[in-house]
């Protein structure tokens, strides 16, 4: 069953889970600590100050009652005044303690008891003031009656109320302390359980990663080590997964298949080596035979062709003894055949020289004019094929370049010959020439059978011919020779064609080579007149 998610998804989910776990655990801990802190603040801000204030009130009120008795028992004026000062000091302390108690937040029941205490204490102070007034006038008996009577009752009521208030505050403080202790224990165990749960989740996540990622990777690593040891008899696990491990497993399967094929290929290479050596020797023999044939053709056929051409000239000179029409017809046919055969032989010979002997050895650059050379090429093919329609369209009268006149003549002759050959019914052939961007540009355009699109990339290969030229004589070396010669001149040849609509071959020759080579040839150009391009052409038509 294919895994629905990738390793990145699994790892992202695991680490996101870890992050959420930490966040939840932190928030939970903060919540419990906040509760604990609130209870602690309640104890610290309410019950501890409350207990301290109530203790002070108990102490101050008790002391006040004792000073009241001391005042009653005092007989001297100085003692009476001292006790009264002590009572005033205790009044201020009691008032301060009361203000401190009132500033503390209390429950309604405590507040009611406190109000009752204040009322009782106010009554008690009223009786104390009466008693002090009687004591100052030496009416001790009446003062003593108040002290033991109404004053005592009022003090007991206030003291009883204060006692109940103190007991209630102590009980509430004890309850708050117990709540605080319980909150601490609860928070401790809850946080401990949360940590245990987090640890369990981490363990489960690690187990998941180990089972779904680590273990499969280790198994794949073992398979790769086995394949590296040339052990191809193994099973590749995890190929059905849809994640990165599945991709690695499938790649390992491909690697295993390739390793098996490689081992088979290695076993076959030994057997093929001997066959290749034999084939190489055969190719070398064929290449030698081809060179011998070309050499033989160029030497053995040229002499009889020259003889034929000589007889044709004599026939034309003795035409007065024969019928003029017959002599002209035969002589024309002979010369046409001679020109075609010579052209073919030159193609074969130049192709062999440029390929086998090194093109640079046969490249002899000199300053020439392309315009008359192109006119001579066109005239040659008009003579070879009288019904050919070859139109010359030159933008300039002179096109000086630096190059090999023989190679360029052969190049453009091959292009025009192809245009004539593959233009049925004497279609129009255009030879355009001009200077564009400091380049000599020559275009040969025909409206013939064209070149299939699938053949355009191989059109300039040696011995390659288009798939639509069956039945038309040709060797497949003309365009190869043309491209090689143009590249020797630092130029380029391009072709655009549509099957059934014709072709356009464009040759571009850089004219800057004139300035680059002109200095080298300046002395020779001054000593000898510029060579005429009629030479190479004359060799082909004489």
Q: What is the DSSP string of 13-30?
A: HHHHHHHHHHHHHHHHHH
* Sequence ranges of the chain with CATH classification 1.20.120.1730: 25-192
- In sign, the C-alpha dihedral spanning 48, 53, 58, 59 is positive
The long-range contacts involving 202-211, CB below 8 angstroms and separated by at least 24 positions, are 202/18, 202/21, 205/14, 205/17, 205/18, 208/10, 208/14, 209/10, 209/11, 209/14
pLDDT at 107 (0 to 100): 78
Closest listed residue to residue 151, CA positions, set 95, 205, 87: 87
The CA-CA-CA angle for residues 267, 273, 279, to 5°, reads: 140
Averaged over 28-56, what is the pLDDT? 69
Residue of higher predicted confidence among 177 and 86: 86
Asked if CATH classification 2.170.120.12 holds for the domain at 25-192, the reply, yes or no, is no
Q: Is the pLDDT of residue 300 over 60?
A: no
Residue of higher predicted confidence among 227 and 311: 227
Q: Is the pLDDT of residue 2 over 70?
A: no
**Token pair belonging to 248:** 């690695």
Averaged over 502-531, what is the pLDDT? 62
Give the model's confidence band at 464: pLDDT under 50 very low, under 70 low, under 90 confident, else very high: confident
With a CB cutoff of 8 Å and minimum separation 6, the contacts of 504 are 443, 444, 445, 495, 496, 497
DSSP string, 393-438: EESSS--EEEE-HHHHHHHHHHHHHHHHHTSGGG-EEEEEEEEETT
Sequence-ordered strand ranges (E) for 437-527: 439-446, 492-498, 502-510
Give the model's confidence band at 494: pLDDT under 50 very low, under 70 low, under 90 confident, else very high: very high
How far is 370 from 78, CA to CA, in rounded Å? 150
pLDDT at 155 (0 to 100): 86
Tell how strand 366-369 and strand 400-403 pair up: antiparallel
Task: Calculate the CA 154 to chain-centre distance.
Answer: 94
Give the model's confidence band at 540: pLDDT under 50 very low, under 70 low, under 90 confident, else very high: very low
Backbone conformation region of residue 236, classed left if phi is above 0, alpha if psi is from -120 to 50, else beta: beta
Give the model's confidence band at 358: pLDDT under 50 very low, under 70 low, under 90 confident, else very high: low
Closest listed residue to residue 479, CA positions, set 513, 502, 507: 507
Q: Is the pLDDT of residue 495 over 90?
A: yes
Give the model's confidence band at 422: pLDDT under 50 very low, under 70 low, under 90 confident, else very high: confident
Name the least confident of 101-110, 162-171, 187-196, 302-311.
Answer: 302-311
Write down the mean pLDDT value for the chain: 76
**Token pair belonging to 132:** 């002090």
Task: Calculate the CA 23 to chain-centre distance.
Answer: 34
Averaged over 441-463, what is the pLDDT? 89
- Residue 125: C-alpha distances to residues 80, 149, 153, 270, 304 (Å): 17, 14, 12, 128, 164
By the 8 A CB rule, do 170 and 47 touch? no
* Sequence ranges of the chain with CATH classification 3.30.565.10: 362-541
With a CB cutoff of 8 Å and minimum separation 6, the contacts of 32 are 183, 186, 187, 190, 191
Out of 104-108, 231-235, 392-396, the most confident range is 392-396
In 3-state terms, what secondary structure has residue 230?
coil
Other CB atoms within 10 Å distance of the CB of residue 20: 10
Percent of the chain residues topping a pLDDT of 90:
11
pLDDT at 76 (0 to 100): 76
Out of 165-169, 184-188, 339-343, 375-379, the most confident range is 375-379
pLDDT at 339 (0 to 100): 66
- Per-residue pLDDT reduced to its tens digit, 250-292: 777 777 777 777 777 777 887 888 888 888 877 775 565 466 4
pLDDT at 37 (0 to 100): 63
How far is 477 from 462, CA to CA, in rounded Å? 5
Q: What is the dihedral of CA 121, 123, 125, 127, to 10 degrees?
A: -140
Other CB atoms within 10 Å distance of the CB of residue 110: 19
pLDDT at 433 (0 to 100): 94
Furthest CA-CA distance within the chain: 198
Task: Enumerate helices (H) and strands (E) in the chain, giving the number of each.
Answer: 15, 7
How far is 198 from 21, CA to CA, in rounded Å? 7
**Token pair belonging to 515:** 């300035």
By the 8 A CB rule, do 428 and 389 touch? yes
- Per-residue pLDDT reduced to its tens digit, 198-209: 888 888 878 877
Give the model's confidence band at 337: pLDDT under 50 very low, under 70 low, under 90 confident, else very high: low
Place of tokens 């030229």: 469
pLDDT at 160 (0 to 100): 87
pLDDT at 293 (0 to 100): 47
Averaged over 293-305, what is the pLDDT? 53
- Residue 57: C-alpha distances to residues 109, 117, 127, 210 (Å): 18, 11, 19, 70
pTM: 0.40
pLDDT at 19 (0 to 100): 77
pLDDT at 6 (0 to 100): 66
Where do runs of H (alpha helix) occur along 137-149?
Answer: 140-148
* 147-166 per-residue burial string, b: 16 or more CB within 10 A, e: under 16: beebbeebbebbbebbeebb
Give the model's confidence band at 43: pLDDT under 50 very low, under 70 low, under 90 confident, else very high: low
**Token pair belonging to 344:** 């073919």
pLDDT at 505 (0 to 100): 95
pLDDT at 12 (0 to 100): 77
Averaged over 340-348, what is the pLDDT? 63
Averaged over 113-118, what is the pLDDT? 84
- Three-state secondary structure of 243-281: CHHHHHHHHHHHHHHHHHHHHHHHHHHHHHHHHHHHHHH
For the chain, the straight-line distance linking the first and the last C-alpha, in angstroms and rounded, comes to 85
Give the model's confidence band at 186: pLDDT under 50 very low, under 70 low, under 90 confident, else very high: confident
pLDDT at 161 (0 to 100): 85
Other CB atoms within 10 Å distance of the CB of residue 141: 8
Q: Is the pLDDT of residue 303 over 80?
A: no
With a CB cutoff of 8 Å and minimum separation 6, the contacts of 83 are 67, 68, 70, 71, 74
Asked if CATH classification 3.30.70.360 holds for the domain at 362-541, the reply, yes or no, is no
């Amino acid at each position: 069953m294919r895994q629905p998610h990738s390793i990145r998804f699994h790892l992202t989910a695991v680490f996101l889970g870890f992050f959420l776990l930490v966040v939840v655990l932190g928030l939970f801990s903060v919540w419990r600590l906040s509760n604990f802190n609130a209870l602690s603040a309640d104890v610290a801000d309410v019950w501890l100050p409350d207990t301290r204030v109530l203790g002070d009130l108990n102490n101050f009120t008790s002391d006040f009652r004792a000073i009241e008795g001391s005042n009653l028992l005092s007989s001297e004026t100085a003692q009476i005044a001292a006790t009264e000062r002590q009572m005033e000091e205790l009044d201020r302390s009691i008032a301060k303690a009361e203000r401190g108690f009132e500033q503390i937040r209390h429950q309604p029941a405590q507040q009611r008891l406190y109000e009752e205490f204040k009322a009782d204490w106010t009554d008690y102070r009223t009786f104390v003031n009466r008693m002090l007034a009687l004591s100052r006038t030496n009416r001790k008996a009446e003062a003593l009656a108040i002290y033991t009577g109404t004053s005592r009752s009022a003090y007991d009521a206030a003291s009883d109320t204060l006692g109940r208030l103190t007991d209630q505050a102590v009980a509430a403080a004890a309850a708050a302390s117990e709540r605080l202790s319980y909150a601490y224990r609860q928070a401790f165990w809850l946080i401990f359980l949360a940590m245990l749960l987090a640890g369990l989740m981490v363990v489960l996540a690690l187990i998941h990663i180990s089972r779904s990622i680590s273990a499969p990777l280790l198994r794949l690593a073992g398979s790769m080590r086995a394949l590296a040891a040339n052990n191809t008899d193994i099973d590749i696990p995890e190929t059905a997964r849809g994640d990165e491990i599945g991709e690695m497993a499938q790649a390992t399967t491909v690697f295993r298949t390739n390793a098996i094929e490689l081992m088979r290929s290695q076993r076959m290479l030994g057997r093929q080596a001997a066959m290749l050596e034999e084939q190489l020797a055969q190719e070398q023999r064929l290449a030698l035979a081809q060179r011998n044939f070309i050499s033989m053709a160029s030497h053995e056929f040229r002499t009889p062709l020259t003889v034929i051409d000589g007889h044709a000239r004599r026939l034309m000179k003795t035409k007065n003894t024969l019928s003029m029409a017959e002599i002209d017809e035969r002589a024309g046919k002979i010369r046409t055949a001679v020109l075609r055969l010579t052209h073919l032989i030159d193609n074969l010979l130049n192709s062999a020289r440029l390929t086998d002997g090194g093109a640079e050895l046969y490249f002899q650059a000199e300053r020439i004019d392309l315009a008359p050379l192109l006119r001579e090429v066109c005239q040659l093919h008009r003579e070879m094929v009288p019904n050919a329609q070859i139109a010359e369209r030159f933008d300039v009268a002179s096109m000086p370049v630096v190059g090999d006149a023989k190679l360029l003549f052969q190049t453009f002759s091959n292009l025009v010959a192809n245009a004539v050959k593959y233009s049925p019914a004497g279609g129009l052939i255009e030879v355009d020439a001009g200077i564009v961007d400091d380049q000599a540009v020559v275009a040969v355009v025909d409206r013939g059978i064209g070149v299939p699109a699938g053949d355009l990339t191989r059109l300039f290969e040696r011995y390659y011919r288009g798939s639509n030229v069956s039945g038309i004589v040709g060797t497949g070396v003309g365009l190869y020779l043309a491209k090689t010669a143009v590249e020797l001149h630092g130029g380029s040849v391009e072709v655009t064609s549509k099957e059934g609509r014709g072709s356009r071959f464009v040759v571009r020759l850089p004219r800057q080579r004139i300035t680059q080579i002109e200095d080298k040839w300046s002395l020779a150009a001054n000593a000898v007149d510029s060579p005429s391009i009629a030479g190479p052409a004359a060799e082909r038509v004489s």
